[in-house]
């Protein structure tokens, strides 16, 4: 059967917003929470382990329903961001989840407060839930009283939560104007970015100038929102919770030791020369003296090769299949169950994502498929995510999803398998070269760019504590770019506003290093795969099927990887160094 561009079917979640099932789900959660509130008096240090597990499973049941409600609402909204009903439900679900969380908060507080001996006793019989329970206790020193925690939760809905929603609302309605072939086009950011990656050098410059013209106009306001976000982060996490630094909040949530993240960022800083060499090479390929910042994603060949949707799915299945047929089977299941929304539609969210709802439910994948080589790579990427979660489906709802830094493993690995397949089949030298250069472009965007975002965030959070103005922060951002690019790339002034255009630093502070983490990890895993062949496969599948059931450092340690060691991270950069070296040798 040929696959065609379609919308997904959310029927497995709920039939619709007006369905009695959905209303009943809200009621069920309320009932379950009310009954859970009744266990409060039973929480004593010598609690029987069977009873304890009953409570844990009861809270898992409630989470399952909330996950479903949240997924149905979020996926409906992504499918049509202009849908008023979906918009209203988004706010309702957030408020509902915060209220339910507050009413059941006493359980995790009791658990964190329990003495080590009894906690160990209960964890010993918790099986797959063990790591989840351990993780909650990691936050014990930073936990406040029940009353304080409740106030933070409820004030966050209309405080930080609302601030971030406003940031999205303001920036999502931006319209960008670009003169293309004598015609002024009005574009969304996603449409504008296509010109940034296009082959016309003048349009690349104009597109970037327009992008940051619009952001700079609101620069002082967006910058002020960022200052508030950073101050709130500091007030809560350092002021009240006593975390040691702004970044260590995220590190603890990722369960990655501070030293590992510091090692990663230090090593990245020492390797800026690799990409600087690459940008000089790219300048030569494009026939210019120095690469402008506008040109770093420029294609080096004019290949407009298009891929039919059905052929693309086949290529992706084939590349998974050559690694392990069970992976291809899982990828196929996502399509066969109509869990893919692939067509481009007005009002639909830009970009792509994979949403895992429950361990026993096939994940949902959103694409905006336009037939470019990039779109095929994105398809492999998102299906990699889906496979990761399907391989971990034997874990509980609390332990199947991997922590952030491991979350990009299967997706990036999937993309690399696809690239290898494309290279093996492509006869046209120009297209092959374009594929290889794109691979380094992407590596730049995920490794160096994201590492420098993280370094910037660190600096900006510190500066804001010292009352830096928005202009001070913009100047610091410019310095950050200069260090990153050296003399290899010509910067223009408008890039000082790039940081206010990065949603991640508003939404999830210090999220970005997870990208660099994931990509470098995959480089070194892929290197192992090429050297070891068949014997590597079980090791890799074991990493994926662990999901989030153990600490990332532990999962990787079992595969012989030490994330605290600068040598490990350097290994990832060495792969890149070799790749750039090979490109330099090409005629
Ligand atoms: Zn991803």
- What tens digit of pLDDT does each residue of 273-304 get? 999 999 999 999 999 999 999 999 998 876 67
Q: Ligand 1 centre and the CA of 381: distance in Å?
A: 6
Q: Ligand 1 centre and the CA of 31: distance in Å?
A: 36
pLDDT at 372 over 90: no
Q: What is the largest CA-CA distance in the chain?
A: 78
Q: Ligand 1 centre and the CA of 57: distance in Å?
A: 30
pLDDT at 271 over 80: yes
What local confidence, expressed as pLDDT, does residue 392 receive? 98
Cα 349 from chain centroid (whole Å):
16
Q: Ligand 1 centre and the CA of 147: distance in Å?
A: 37
pLDDT at 85 over 90: yes
Q: Ligand 1 centre and the CA of 169: distance in Å?
A: 24
Question: H/E/C letters for each residue in 225-257?
Answer: HHHHHHHHHHHHHHHHCCCCCHHHHHHHHHCCC
What local confidence, expressed as pLDDT, does residue 149 receive? 94
Q: Ligand 1 centre and the CA of 355: distance in Å?
A: 11
Q: Ligand 1 centre and the CA of 466: distance in Å?
A: 35
Best CA proximity match to 276, nearest among 452, 517, 457: 452
Q: Ligand 1 centre and the CA of 447: distance in Å?
A: 13
Q: Ligand 1 centre and the CA of 367: distance in Å?
A: 12
> How many residues make up the chain in this entry?
587
- Per DSSP bridges, beta strands 291-292 and 489-490 are parallel
Q: Ligand 1 centre and the CA of 353: distance in Å?
A: 7
Residue partners of 530: CB distance under 8 A and separation at least 6:
none
Report whether 14 contacts 361 (CB < 8 A). Answer: no
Taking each helix axis as running N to C, give the angle between helix 84-113 and helix 130-138, from 0 to 180 degrees, rounded to the nearest 10: 80
* Continuous segment of H or E residues that includes residue 178: strand 176-180
* Cα–Cα distance for residue pair 439/519, rounded to 1 Å: 12
What local confidence, expressed as pLDDT, does residue 155 receive? 92
Report whether 467 contacts 224 (CB < 8 A). Answer: no
Name the average pLDDT for the chain. 94
Q: Ligand 1 centre and the CA of 407: distance in Å?
A: 7
Q: Ligand 1 centre and the CA of 16: distance in Å?
A: 28
What local confidence, expressed as pLDDT, does residue 303 receive? 66
The model's pLDDT over 123-156, given as tens digits with 9 standing for 90+, comes to 999 999 999 999 999 999 999 999 999 999 989 9
* Cα–Cα distance for residue pair 340/366, rounded to 1 Å: 6
Question: What value does the mean pLDDT take over residues 394-401?
Answer: 97
Q: Ligand 1 centre and the CA of 60: distance in Å?
A: 26
Q: Ligand 1 centre and the CA of 504: distance in Å?
A: 14
Q: Ligand 1 centre and the CA of 378: distance in Å?
A: 9
Q: Which of 25-39, 181-195, 201-215, 498-512 has the lowest mean pLDDT?
A: 181-195
pLDDT at 587 over 80: no
pLDDT at 1 over 80: no
Write the CA distances from 169 to 82, 166, 321, 347, 430, integer angstroms.
12, 5, 42, 14, 42
Q: Ligand 1 centre and the CA of 183: distance in Å?
A: 35
Q: Ligand 1 centre and the CA of 387: distance in Å?
A: 12
Q: Ligand 1 centre and the CA of 518: distance in Å?
A: 9
Q: Ligand 1 centre and the CA of 379: distance in Å?
A: 10
Q: Ligand 1 centre and the CA of 404: distance in Å?
A: 10
Q: Ligand 1 centre and the CA of 471: distance in Å?
A: 33
Percent pLDDT > 70 in the chain is 99
Q: Which of 46-55, 164-173, 337-346, 481-490 has the lowest mean pLDDT?
A: 164-173
3-state class (DSSP) for residue 137 = helix
Q: Ligand 1 centre and the CA of 361: distance in Å?
A: 19
pLDDT at 514 over 80: yes
Q: Ligand 1 centre and the CA of 414: distance in Å?
A: 10
Question: What value does the mean pLDDT take over residues 50-76?
Answer: 97
- Per DSSP bridges, beta strands 364-366 and 340-341 are parallel
Q: Ligand 1 centre and the CA of 521: distance in Å?
A: 14
Q: Ligand 1 centre and the CA of 24: distance in Å?
A: 33
The model's pLDDT over 538-556, given as tens digits with 9 standing for 90+, comes to 999 999 999 999 999 999 9
What local confidence, expressed as pLDDT, does residue 468 receive? 98
Residue 127 CB coordination number (10 Å): 11
What local confidence, expressed as pLDDT, does residue 151 receive? 95
């Amino acid at each position: 059967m040929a696959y065609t561009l379609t919308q997904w079917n959310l029927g497995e979640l709920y039939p619709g917003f007006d369905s009695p099932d959905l209303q009943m789900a809200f009621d069920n959660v309320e009932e379950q929470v009310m009954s859970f509130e009744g266990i409060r008096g039973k929480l004593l240090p010598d609690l029987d382990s069977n009873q304890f597990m009953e409570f844990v499973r009861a809270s898992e049941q409630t989470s399952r329903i909330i996950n479903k409600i949240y997924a149905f609402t979020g996926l409906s909204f992504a499918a049509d961001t202009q849908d008023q009903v979906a918009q209203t439900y988004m706010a309702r679900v957030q408020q509902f989840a915060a209220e339910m969380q507050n009413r059941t908060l006493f359980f995790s507080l009791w658990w964190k407060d329990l003495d080590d001996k009894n906690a160990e006793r209960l964890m010993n019989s918790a099986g797959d839930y063990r790591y989840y329970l351990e993780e909650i206790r990691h936050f014990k020193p930073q936990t406040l009283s029940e009353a304080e925690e409740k106030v933070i939760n409820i004030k966050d809905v209309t405080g930080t939560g609302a601030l971030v929603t406003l940031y999205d609302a303001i920036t999502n309605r931006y319209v960008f104007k670009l003169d293309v072939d004598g015609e002024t086009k009005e574009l969304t950011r996603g449409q504008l970015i296509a010109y940034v990656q296009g082959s016309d050098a003048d349009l690349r410059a104009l597109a970037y100038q327009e992008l940051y013209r619009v952001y700079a106009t609101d620069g002082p306001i967006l910058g002020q929102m960022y200052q508030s976000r950073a101050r709130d982060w500091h007030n809560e996490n350092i002021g009240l919770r006593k975390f040691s630094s702004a970044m260590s909040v995220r590190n603890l949530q990722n369960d990655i030791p501070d030293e590992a993240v510091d090692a990663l960022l230090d090593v990245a800083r020492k390797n800026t020369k690799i990409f600087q060499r690459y940008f000089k090479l790219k300048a030569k390929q494009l026939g210019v003296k120095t690469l402008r910042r506008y040109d770093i994603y420029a294609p080096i060949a004019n290949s407009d090769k298009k891929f039919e949707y059905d052929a693309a799915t086949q290529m992706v299945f084939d590349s998974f299949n050559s690694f392990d047929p069970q992976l291809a089977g899982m990828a196929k299941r996502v399509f066969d169950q109509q869990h893919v929304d692939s067509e481009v539609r007005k009002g639909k969210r830009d970009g792509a994502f994979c949403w895992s709802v429950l361990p026993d439910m096939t994940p949902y994948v959103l694409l905006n498929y336009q037939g470019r080589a990039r779109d095929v790579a994105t398809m492999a990427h998102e299906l990699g995510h889906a496979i990761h979660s399907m391989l971990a489906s034997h874990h509980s709802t609390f332990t199947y999803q991997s922590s952030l830094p491991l979350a990009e493993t299967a997706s990036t690995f999937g993309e690399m398998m696809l690239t290898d397949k494309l290279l093996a089949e492509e006869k046209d030298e120009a297209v092959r070269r374009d594929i290889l250069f794109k691979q380094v472009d992407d590596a730049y965007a995920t490794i160096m760019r994201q590492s420098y975002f993280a370094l910037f965030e660190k600096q900006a959070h510190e500066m804001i504590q010292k009352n830096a103005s928005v202009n001070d922060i913009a100047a610091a951002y410019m310095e950050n770019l200069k260090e990153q690019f050296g003399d290899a790339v010509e910067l223009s002034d408008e890039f000082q506003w790039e940081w206010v255009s990065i949603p991640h630093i508003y939404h999830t502070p210090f999220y970005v290093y997870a990208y660099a983490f994931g990509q470098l990890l995959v480089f070194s895993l892929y290197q192992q795969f090429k050297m070891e062949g068949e014997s590597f496969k079980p090791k890799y599948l074991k990493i994926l099927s662990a999901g989030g059931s153990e600490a990332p450092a532990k999962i990787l340690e079992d595969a012989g990887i030490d994330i605290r060691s600068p040598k490990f991270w350097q290994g990832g950069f060495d792969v890149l160094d070799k790749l750039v070296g090979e490109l330099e040798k090409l005629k």
